A and B are shown apart, each in its own frame.
Chain A
Amino acid sequence: MRHLLSTQDLSREDAVRILDTAEEMAAVGEREVKKLPALRGRTVVNLFFEDSTRTRISFEAAAKRLSADVINFSAKGSSVSKGESLKDTAQTLEAMSADAVVIRHWASGAPERLARSGWIDAAVINAGDGTHEHPTQALLDAFTMRRHWSRLAGSDSTAADLAGMRVAIAGDVLHSRVARSNVWLLKTLGAHVTLVAPPTLLPVGVEHWPCEVSYDLDAVLASGVDAIMMLRVQAERMNDSFFPSTREYSRRWGFDDGRLAALDALGLKDTIILHPGPMNRGLEISSAAADSPRSTVLAQVRNGVSVRMATLYLLLSGDLRRTAPTHGVRAVKIPVEIPETAL
């Protein structure tokens, strides 16, 4: 694997290796000196054609903790907004010897184009493309769920998957890259996924996906879920008649206080609530739900840095990149075995 473009073609083995490596990286984040020399002298470019401060700073923190040099290239106010093509931008970054390009783009498939076009030799990491995929978000969600699932099982999360876990993903599936990446990855890791959405916000063709589909959030909760992920609803969807009003949406498909109470009434004491952020409090999730002990929203943000460190590390120097020089040691062991004196 040279790039991380999608979770659809990610094998169980590679997915678990990324999650295991992220566990090692998380340990670094708990040290006093939160830094490894692993990517010293390597250049990581954050190429953002669409605003996303949260994702960008998460990748930036990840790259810096690995001692990489980081260049943030925002399309807003740059030559890109003056009509420079993706091809020219890519070739510029290539000329500057970028080792990895983290790309966020409003167009589905733009990372694929960057990786496969021959314009650039760098590793490409998809940081969210249009309504296609957001693989590192799915990986950090899986990481968060795996920790929870392993803790319930009383076992170590390393090498574990999500076999048997029941996950519901609710909201605007049609426009959600997070939902797509999660469906493929969770399936690969053995979880049972149910999508819950108004019929207008499910893509034609969803019946071919490896998951269940429901229009009824209460029924899905009643059938028992171990994790519920609420997707952000863009307010502008209202103008396109996807649903009649935000209030109606909220009543039928939002995770409100009533549904939070229902989890207790149903005896689902270990069910967690995920949200990729940023949240629309009062629309798809109530404040009480977002701030409840079940909410993993902040853990997801924290885990995002670990997962992105693992991805950068494995693509740039680890054994996911088989063409890279080998270090003679298993990739997952390197970060923690480096003595801090070497820093």
Chain B
Amino acid sequence: MTIEFQTTGTRAAGGSYLIRGAAVLGAERTDLLLQGGRIAAVGTGLDSAGATVVDADGLLALPGMVDLHTHLREPGREDAETVETGTRAAALGGFTAVHAMANSSPVADTAGVVEQVFSLGREAGWVDVRPVGAVTVGLAGERLAELGAMADSRARVRMFSDDGICVSDPVLMRRALEYIKAFDGVIAQHAQEPRLTEGAQMNEGKVSAVLGLAGWPAVAEESIIARDVLLAQHVGSRLHVCHVSTAGSVDILRWAKARGVNVTAEVTPHHLWLTEDLVRSYDPVYKVNPPLRSDEDVRALREALADGTIDVVATDHAPHPSEAKDCEWAQAAMGMTGLETALSVVQHTMIETGMIGWADFARVTSHAPARIGQLPDQGRPLQAGQPANLVLVDPAARWTVQPETMASKGRNSPFRGRELPGAVVATFFRGHPTVLDGELHSPYRDPGVAPARFGSVGTAGAAGTAGAAGGQYGGQ
């Protein structure tokens, strides 16, 4: 695996940081020296000369989280979120990379759009922004988008998804799976049989029967996953299943993996915790797609994440302006914010229940998603020589969710008012602290790439904040 960052690493701006006494993956306490964008040394009693010391007493060091499923809304819905606000939220949530879903306006179905999003991410400087390309033109499910052009673009797209809409046409799905083999891509499927979910408002079952809301049956997800794992096996390609939400889907994935199908799957933090009973309030903050399911499903999802049947946690962070939720249930938009609560919700649902440890947490939030998304600089072990993408977490912290205080523009957190465990104290992105003391510090500025290409970005200042990179990318 090549480490692309190496070409610019030694010239990275900012000083060096000595993290003193962090428990790496919850194990022995150690020091980590970050220099030139990399972990220069790991050990006890490291020399702090010339480095800013970060006291990590009582803190965990984890690899920076990688989100495979983020809606940044830009271009097109900047009232809901922008790359800037969404990636600020990501950094605060402990992420060093996010995958921006393709359902923007215009849709990310051409090299131009994915490069724009990629460049906006670079300018923002809070995390790596990896655009996801649409599978079909305009997400219309009719003909393939120029997948190869997106793969060859500066954004180097490897993950393709019509997320929000299922690639329901079996022939189109087959062709997409086949075609992406040419550049080692992966299709991330939003598994939702459209005819079975027309007008669907919530999980179909005992609660929908009472509430009189049109049902979204589990079979609509499971039948597509069953079809797609068989297709992936038939054509020998890679499939990733977005936001798995039912116990039946877990069974199918387990079966497919046992057969050797090249399939990976994600679960959202909200599906690991919340159930359909919350819909009884008719509060659209609980409206999401796929919908909140039953207790039994939640249990199955947790077990599947623990045993590896589900590979990763992905947020499906879906910010909406308040008017999209301040209305009748049927009128409301689907989706929940998640970047700033993901770590805490996974700690609550998986770690504090004893189902996984922090090393597993690193696997499902960093190593595995980086591998699936093919991000060579991300999800690396916290060892000397590796890129310095890491997060310091206070696992003993307790905080109450207040969406109004979040960096995301979205206020649609389903965890409002809940007390959550675990807080991100610092996030280091390419050796630079994007978050310190639990607050945004400053964005990373890439001194190697930006000036060389565009020549207009100033040299980085003391903390790497001085780069005035606004609006230089994207060929606008």
Contact = CB atoms under 8 A, between A and B. Distances in A.
Given A85-B323, A112-B282, A204-B215, A107 B209 contact: no
B212 A180 contact: yes
B213 interface: yes
Interface stretch (B1-9, B325-333, B467-475): B325-333
A132 interface: yes
A44 B281 CA distance: 25
The contact size tier of chain A is 20 to 34
Contacts of A112: 281-282
A113 B329 contact: yes
Nearest to B323: A85
Contact of A85 (B201, B208, B211, B327): B327
Contacts of A86: 327-328, 331
Contact of A107 (B283, B323, B331): B331
B193 interface: no
Given A85-B326, A86-B328, A113-B328, A204 B213 contact: no
A209 B206 CA distance: 9
Contacts of B215: 203-204
Given A87-B327, A108-B330, A204-B204, A8 B281 contact: no
Max count, chain A CB within 10 A of own CB: residue among B204, B205, B330: B330
A109 B328 contact: yes
Interface in B261-295: 281-283
A86 B332 CA distance: 12
Interface string A126-165: 0001111100000000000000000000000000000000
Nearest to B198: A240
Interface residues of B, number: 24
Interface string A207-247: 01100000000000000000000000000000000000000
Contacts of B283: 113, 116
Nearest to A132: B212
B210 A8 contact: yes
Nearest to B215: A204
Given A112-B282, A113-B282, A205-B205, A133 B212 contact: yes
A101 to B, nearest CB: 14
Contacts of B209: 203-206, 208-209
A22 B346 CA distance: 53
Contacts of A132: 211-213
Nearest to B331: A107
A305 interface: no
Contacts of B207: 205
Contacts of A129: 212
A39 interface: no
Interface string A192-211: 00000000000111101100
Q: Considering residues B204, B210, B330, which has the most beta carbons from chain A within 10 angstroms of its beta carbon?
A: B210
B217 interface: yes
Interface in B292-337: 323, 326-331
A108 B326 contact: no
A105 interface: yes
Given A204-B209, A205-B209, A110 B328 contact: yes
A275 B406 CA distance: 53
Contacts of A85: 323, 326-327
A208 B207 CA distance: 9
A244 B329 CA distance: 32
Given A108-B213, A205-B207, A208-B209, A130 B330 contact: yes
Interface in B196-236: 201, 204-215, 217
A177 interface: yes
Contact of A109 (B204, B206, B329): B329
Contacts of A8: 210
A89 B184 CA distance: 53
A129 B331 CA distance: 14
Given A204-B215, A205-B205, A180 B327 contact: no
Given A204-B217, A205-B205, A109 B211 contact: yes
B165 to A, nearest CB: 22
Given A204-B215, A204-B217, A205-B205, A105 B210 contact: no
B204 to A, nearest CB: 5
B282 A109 contact: yes
A134 to B, nearest CB: 10
A133 B210 CA distance: 9
Interface in A164-194: 177, 180
A108 B204 CA distance: 15
A199 to B, nearest CB: 14
A267 B282 CA distance: 46
Nearest to B214: A131
A205 B211 CA distance: 11
A49 to B, nearest CB: 9
A180 B210 contact: yes
B282 A205 contact: no
Contacts of A206: 209
Instruction: Identify the interface centre among B201, B209, B213, B330: most chain A CB within 10 Å of its CB.
Output: B209
B282 A204 contact: no
B30 to A, nearest CB: 51
Interface string A301-339: 000000000000000000000000000000000000000
Interface string A79-112: 0000001110000000000000000011111101
Contacts of A209: 209-210
Nearest to B207: A205
A107 B323 CA distance: 17
B122 to A, nearest CB: 38
Interface of A: 8, 85-87, 105-110, 112-113, 116-117, 129-133, 177, 180, 203-206, 208-209
25 contacts: A85-B326, A86-B328, A87-B326, A87-B327, A107-B330, A107-B331, A108-B213, A108-B329, A109-B211, A109-B330, A110-B328, A113-B329, A116-B281, A116-B282, A117-B326, A130-B212, A130-B213, A132-B212, A177-B212, A204-B204, A204-B205, A204-B209, A205-B205, A205-B208, A209-B209
Given A132-B213, A133-B212, A203-B209, 16 more contacts: A86-B328, A87-B326, A105-B328, A107-B329, A107-B331, A108-B201, A108-B212, A109-B282, A110-B328, A113-B327, A130-B213, A130-B330, A132-B212, A204-B205, A205-B204, A208-B206
* 3 tightest Cβ-Cβ pairs between the two chains A and B: A205-B209, A109-B282, A132-B212
